[in-house]
Chain A
Amino acid sequence: MNYDVVYSHSQNAADLHIDQKEILRYMGHKGAACPQTQMLIGSLMENVRQNAMPRGAFVLKKLEREHENIKIGSMDIKSKNLARNLEGCEDVIVFAITCGAQIDRLIDSKSSTEPSKALAISAIATTLCEAYADSLCGELKAYFANKGLYLRPRFSPGYGDFLLEFQKDIVSLTDAAKRCSINLTDSLMLVPSKSVTGIIGIGKEMTHCPPLGCEACDKTDCRYRR
Chain B
Amino acid sequence: MNIMNSLGKKLLFFDGGMGTLLQKRGLKAGELPETWNITHKDVITDIHLEYLNSGANILKTNTFGATLLKFPKEGEISLEEVIAAAVENAKEAIAKCDNDDEHYIALDIGPCGKLLKPLGDLAFEDAVELFAQTVKIGARCGVDIVLIETMNDLYETKAAVLAAKENCNLPVFVTNAYDTTQKLMTGASPEAVCACLEGLRVDAIGLNCSFGPRQMLPVVERLCAVSSLPIIVNPNAGLPVFENGETKYDIEKDEFADLMKQIAKCGAHVLGGCCGTTPEYIKATVQKLKGFDVKPIEDKNLCVISSYTHAVEFGKKPVIIGERINPTGKKAFKEALRAHDIDYILNVGIKQEEAGADVLDVNVGLPEIDEPQMMADAVCALQAVTDLPLQIDTSDEAAMEKALRLYNGKAMVNSVNGKIESMEKVFPLVQKYGGLVVALTLDENGIPQTANERVKIAERIYAKAAEYGIAKKDIIVDPLAMTISTDSHSASCTLDALGAIADRGGLTSLGVSNISFGLPAREFINSTFFTMALSRGLSAAIINPHSTEMMKAYKSYLAVAGYDENCSEYIAFAQTVTTSEQIKGADNLNVPGDDTLKNAIIKGLKDRAFSKAKELAASTPPLDIINNEIVPALDIVGRGFEEKTVFLPQLLISAEAAKAAFDAVKEKIAISGGEKVKKCPVVIATVKGDIHDIGKNIVKALLDNYGFEVIDLGKDVSPEVVLEAAKKSNAPIVGLSALMTTTVPAMAETVRLIKKELPHTKVVVGGAVLTKEYADSMGADKYAKDAMETVRYAESV
Contact = CB atoms under 8 A, between A and B. Distances in A.
A183 B689 contact: no
A8 B603 contact: no
B187 A191 contact: no
Nearest to B738: A187
Interface in A166-198: 169, 172-173, 177-179, 181, 183, 185-189, 191-193
A102 interface: yes
A192 B245 contact: no
Contacts of B655: 115-116
B479 interface: no
B247 interface: yes
Interface in B497-544: none
Contact of B649 (A2, A120, A142): A120
Nearest to B384: A108
B740 A189 contact: yes
A181 B241 contact: no
Contacts of A104: 119
B211 to A, nearest CB: 9
Contacts of B742: 164, 187-189
Nearest to B347: A113
A74 B694 contact: no
Secondary structure class of chain B's binding surface, majority of residues: loop
B241 A7 contact: yes
A113 B350 contact: yes
Contacts, number: 171
A109 B694 contact: no
Contacts of B650: 34, 36-37
A30 B644 contact: yes
Given A9-B241, A36-B603, A116-B649, A191 B180 contact: no
A172 B243 CA distance: 22
Contact of A37 (B28, B150, B649): B649
A7 B240 contact: yes
B563 interface: no
Contacts of A172: 29-30
A109 B689 CA distance: 21
Interface string A76-89: 00000000000000
Given A1-B247, A115-B656, A164 B741 contact: yes
A111 interface: yes
B179 A115 contact: no
A186 B117 CA distance: 13
B649 A119 contact: yes
Interface in A54-75: 55, 58, 73-74
A187 B691 CA distance: 9
B786 interface: yes
A149 interface: no
Contact of B121 (A34, A74, A177, A185): A185
A29 B647 contact: yes
A9 B347 contact: no
A183 B120 contact: yes
A139 interface: yes
A223 interface: yes
B310 to A, nearest CB: 13
Of A2, A8, A140, most buried by chain B (CB within 10 Å of CB) is A8
Given A109-B386, A191-B119, A53 B179 contact: yes
B604 to A, nearest CB: 5
Nearest to A183: B115
A111 B350 CA distance: 12
A119 B346 CA distance: 19
A118 interface: yes
Given A185-B114, A188-B742, A191-B119, A29 B698 contact: no
B736 to A, nearest CB: 15
Contacts of A2: 247
B702 to A, nearest CB: 9
Contacts of A100: 185
Contact of A115 (B180, B185, B350, B652): B652
A154 to B, nearest CB: 16
Given A164-B741, A164-B742, A8 B690 contact: no
Given A40-B649, A139-B242, A183-B114, A119 B694 contact: yes
A177 B111 contact: yes
A214 to B, nearest CB: 14
A139 to B, nearest CB: 6
A28 interface: yes
B638 to A, nearest CB: 15
Interface string B649-667: 1101101100000000000
B326 interface: no
B350 A109 contact: yes
A4 B746 CA distance: 37
A5 interface: yes
A120 B593 CA distance: 26
B245 A143 contact: yes
Interface string A105-135: 1011101111110111010000000000000
Contacts of A120: 649
A6 interface: yes
A55 B210 CA distance: 12
A29 B648 contact: yes
A189 B187 contact: no
Interface in B187-232: 187, 209
Nearest to B118: A108
B718 to A, nearest CB: 13
Nearest to B112: A183
B152 interface: yes
A29 to B, nearest CB: 4
A10 B644 CA distance: 40
B647 A30 contact: yes
B121 A118 contact: no
B650 to A, nearest CB: 6
A27 interface: yes
Interface string B247-263: 10000000000000000
A5 B239 CA distance: 10
Contact of A192 (B119, B689, B698): B119
Nearest to A23: B649
- 3 residue pairs, one from A and one from B, having the closest CB atoms: A187-B689, A116-B652, A29-B647
